[in-house]
Amino acid sequence: MHIKAEGLVKRINGIPFINGLSLEARAGHILGLVGPEGAGKTTVLQLLLNLIPCDEGQVTIDDKPLTGKVLDRMGFLPEKGGSYPVHSLNQTLIYFARLKNMPRKKASVEAVRLIDRFGMIDLMDIPVGHLPTEAREKLQIMRAIIHNPEAILLDDPLKHLSLPSQNLVRKLVQRFKEEGKTIILATEKFDEAEQLCDEVVVLNEGQVVLRDKVKDIRANFQENLILVEGADNLQSLQSIHGVKKLVQEKQVARLYVDNRIPPQKILDVIIKTIKVTRLEVHRPRLSDIFLDVVNSRQKGGL
């Protein structure tokens, strides 16, 4: 399934929040919507599924308008989902599978299979309202995939899960990719997106600040990164030969360093220049690149 959005605009109180966003998600790939809380990730997912109307732009599925039949072939994990507390876990899954037009017998089989996969067989006849918190979170994920959708849109699926459950969901997402499903994953965790996603759209306050394949974003930011923490004047480090840029937040400075210069040379100068409490060298992660781009834009807007 090929999901394409062109020029999406969503206004809040007349002011554009999502402003001219375009993206494409393809079969067999994982597209990440990445950004801090309030960046617009949930709003974009809702626009893609027509849960809220866009003020401008369009969304197409396989080059055709979004319809109810197409929605039946898609799965969605919302940020906050609801279920019927008096119905059992098993009944709830069958109900949502039937909403997607799955035959009753198949829905019953798939519900048991999925409950077993998530390690919840002993809970299948318990009313949803009596389930432990994490079990209810896993139920929301199972609801999104019970009907074996061609495309799956996930809003922060790992946020409230334990580490074993997170690993289970990661494996499921990878398996869905291998099966050729179209996956859009919204997350605040840049490291998670960097590991799981083939391509990312990075948002900040409703605006796209980065959009590319993860490997290409890394290739475009070749500098080494040195993190320095200390009580002295960190701005003085800007003058060190080989430091291309310095970004400071409180008493931590991020030095972007020319990769042609051995980092050890710069480390030696730093140690001689200020009293250091922490010193780290690594290649920029997606979160570092995001902060760099946002800070550059803010300075450019001053």
Share of the chain above pLDDT 70, in %: 96
14, two tokens: 């007349």
The CB density around residue 174, as the number of other CB atoms within 10 Å, is 13
| Separation between Cα atoms, residue 41 and residue 156, nearest integer Å | 9
- Tell me if 59 sits within 8 A of 10, measured CB to CB: no
Regarding predicted confidence, which is higher, 247 or 297? 247
Give residue 264's pLDDT band: very low, low, confident or very high (50, 70, 90): confident
| Separation between Cα atoms, residue 254 and residue 250, nearest integer Å | 11
Sheet with 151-155: strands ordered across: 74-77, 151-155, 182-187, 30-34, 199-204, 207-213
Give residue 302's pLDDT band: very low, low, confident or very high (50, 70, 90): very low
**Helix or strand run (H / E) with residue 44:** helix 41-48
146, two tokens: 């019970």
Sheet with 64-65: strands ordered across: 15-25, 3-12, 56-61, 64-65
| Separation between Cα atoms, residue 140 and residue 79, nearest integer Å | 10
Q: Is the pLDDT of residue 284 over 80?
A: no
Residue with tokens 């931590």: 252
Of the ranges 15-24, 178-187, 247-256, the best mean pLDDT one = 178-187
CA 46 to chain CA centroid, nearest Å: 14
The stretches of 59-146 forming alpha helices (DSSP H) are: 68-71, 89-99, 104-117, 133-145
Task: Look at residue 248 in the predicted model and tell me its pLDDT.
Answer: 85
Task: Look at residue 152 in the predicted model and tell me its pLDDT.
Answer: 96
41, two tokens: 């990730």
Return the amino acid letter for 179.
E
| Virtual torsion, Cα 162, 165, 167, 171, nearest 10 deg | -160
- Tell me if 141 sits within 8 A of 157, measured CB to CB: yes
171-185, 187-201, 249-263: range with lowest mean pLDDT:
249-263
| pTM, 2 dp | 0.79
The mean pLDDT of 58-74, rounded to a whole number, is 91
The structural domains of the chain, ordered by start, are 3-218 (3.40.50.300), 222-283 (3.30.70.980)
| Separation between Cα atoms, residue 57 and residue 21, nearest integer Å | 8
CA 142 to chain CA centroid, nearest Å: 19
User: What are 149-168's pLDDT values in tens digits?
Assistant: 999 999 999 888 899 999 99
Task: Look at residue 41 in the predicted model and tell me its pLDDT.
Answer: 92
Quickly list DSSP for 212-247.
EEHHHHHHH---EEEEEEESS-GGGGGGSTTEEEEE
The β-bridge relationship of strands 64-65 and 3-12 is unpaired
Task: Look at residue 222 in the predicted model and tell me its pLDDT.
Answer: 59
The mean pLDDT of 62-88, rounded to a whole number, is 87
Of the ranges 140-154, 187-201, 211-225, the best mean pLDDT one = 140-154
Average pLDDT along the chain? 88
187, two tokens: 């997350």
CA 35 to chain CA centroid, nearest Å: 7
